[in-house]
Structure 1
Amino acid sequence: MTDRTESPVAAAAVPPPSDYRLAVPDGWERIVLDSPERWTHRIDKLVRRRLRRTRATPQLEAALAERMRAQAEAAQANGGVEMYVVDQVLGQVPVSAGLVVTVLWPAPGTEPGDLGDIARSLALRTDATDAEAQDAGGAGTDDVTLVDLPAGPAVRHRYLRRPAADDPDGNRLALAHLDVYLAVPNSGQRLLLSFSTPTAPPLEPLVEALVTLFDSVARTLQWMA
């Protein structure tokens, strides 16, 4: 009879967290990206509630719901596990923002690398983007930094993106983004928090405050055993 004993390495292995916890402000509507049937029902309910006191036509309601479903499908296809929609009024200013939480896996047959690799890759893209903006007479808008959060080290990437002139959805508003990458402990996975908000008036004066709020939300992340 063979004596099977665990090796010290195996015995000392610590499993990755089973989940995470994130605290968001009141009014942030959560959509779990588990199945199209469930998120479609959730989106339809949110759209009806959002437009209840407006004079929105059925066509507008259907178009808004379809756009949100497309966003959910795209997020889920890229590894998104949940998204939050913000549609509130602060003072007299309507606020629109969003958050998508995505689980990133290393490409098959590759090592996951560390957060420094992500930072360097983003910085290279940032340099190229800023160079293009300066050639066009604008200013660079990207910022990549390594930060320490309660959940661990993270890469913070703040940037501004303007839609293309031929955007198929007809978007005309520039979006301020804040992406936060965290390493999932004891695994090759990364967790990405992607915040965004339009920068056009009347929201423009609130962008800095919203980015500060996004940073605060990222700091609430906790890993669950």
Structure 2
Amino acid sequence: MKTASDFTSPPQDYNLIVPDGWFQLSLEPEERDRGIIALADRQFRGIDNAPQLKKELMRDLQRKAKEAYKVGGTEIYISTLTVGPLPLASSLLISIPALGEWPEVSDADELAEFLTGRRIAPGVENDELSVVPLTAAGKAVRHRRKEVADTTAQMGNTLPTTLLTHYVPIPATNRWLLLNFSTPMEPLADQMVALFDTVAGTLYWE
């Protein structure tokens, strides 16, 4: 849960439910290093012969955290779940675009129309954009797509990344909360997207 006290008016907080095993990492500069160390220690608990891999993980997390913070990111949830020896790699970045970055509209249909003209990008496949109802947060814009792997940015991953973004209107404002889900688990993409949709559906405002 991240405070939203600078949104001009109510609500003051958003809340959502994530699966057990998703690690919450604050992107605030004074907090993120401590969180990155804690996550790396958790991931490599009981593994003493891979210090270089641990360092690479921490560097990758630091880079991603800094990039996310620059574009309005407030926190990241990173999955530490596994099925047997297989990690269920996925993450959720929550962000609030800066004033002026999106049109000042509070209607999901209007935002969807705006985004339709911006979503053509190289390396993007299966691009789907729609307006959907969220149980407690009302109408939101849902954008699913698949990006070709960038091995330099994903620690050698060669699988495409499935991305799902829910643009949720912040009540009493013309601003939007973005729930940016991603997973490189291509064989399980549909199942992971179903999980992401479920998480988005739990969001509510106080």
* TM-score, normalised via structure 2 length: 0.84
1:151 offset after TM fit, Å? 0.7
1:171 offset after TM fit, Å? 4.8
Residues 183-192 or 165-174, more deviating = 165-174
Aligned 1:129-208 pairs, distance under 5 A: 129=121, 140-149=125-134, 150-164=136-150, 171-200=157-186, 204=187, 206-208=188-190
Amino acid at match of 2:35: R
| Structure 2 residue matching 1:141: 3-state secondary structure | strand
Q: In the alignment, is the contact (CA less than 8 A) between 1:145 and 1:155 conserved in 2?
A: yes
In structure 1, the gaps of 5 or more residues are 1-13, 134-138
1:119 offset after TM fit, Å? 1.2
Q: How many aligned residue pairs are there?
A: 197
Percent identity between matched residues is: 34
| Structure 2 residue matching 1:122: 3-state secondary structure | helix
Q: In the alignment, is the contact (CA less than 8 A) between 2:140 and 2:169 conserved in 1?
A: yes
| Structure 1 residue matching 2:96: 3-state secondary structure | strand
In 1, Cα distance between equivalents of 2:143 and 2:199: 15
Note the alpha carbon deviations across 1:61-91, whole angstroms, 9 max, x for none: 1111011011111111111111101021125
* TM-score, normalised via structure 1 length: 0.78
| Structure 2 residue matching 1:207: 3-state secondary structure | helix
1:92 offset after TM fit, Å? 5.1
In 2, Cα distance between equivalents of 1:96 and 1:111: 33
Note the alpha carbon deviations across 1:127-186, whole angstroms, 9 max, x for none: x45xx77xxxxx940100001112111000000001357769655331001100011000
Note the alpha carbon deviations across 1:174-201, whole angstroms, 9 max, x for none: 100110001100012210000000034x
Q: Which has the higher helix share?
A: 1
Q: In the alignment, is the contact (CA less than 8 A) between 2:40 and 2:58 conserved in 1?
A: yes
Q: 2:104 is matched with which residue?
A: 112
Amino acid at match of 1:119: A
Computing the radius of gyration over CA atoms, which structure comes out larger, 1 or 2? 1
Q: In the alignment, is the contact (CA less than 8 A) between 1:31 and 1:83 conserved in 2?
A: yes
Q: Does 1:223 align with 2:205?
A: yes
Note the alpha carbon deviations across 1:18-48, whole angstroms, 9 max, x for none: 110111110110011222x321111111111
In structure 2, the gaps of 5 or more residues are 1-7
In 1, Cα distance between equivalents of 2:55 and 2:151: 25
In 1, Cα distance between equivalents of 2:60 and 2:178: 22
1:50 offset after TM fit, Å? 0.6
In 2, Cα distance between equivalents of 1:210 and 1:31: 20
Q: 1:67 is matched with which residue?
A: 60
Q: In the alignment, is the contact (CA less than 8 A) between 2:125 and 2:147 conserved in 1?
A: no
Aligned 1:13-162 pairs, distance under 5 A: 15-35=9-29, 37-54=30-47, 56-91=49-84, 93-107=86-100, 112-113=104-105, 114-126=107-119, 128-129=120-121, 140-149=125-134, 150-162=136-148
Q: 1:7 is matched with which residue?
A: none
Q: 1:210 is matched with which residue?
A: 192
1:54 offset after TM fit, Å? 3.3
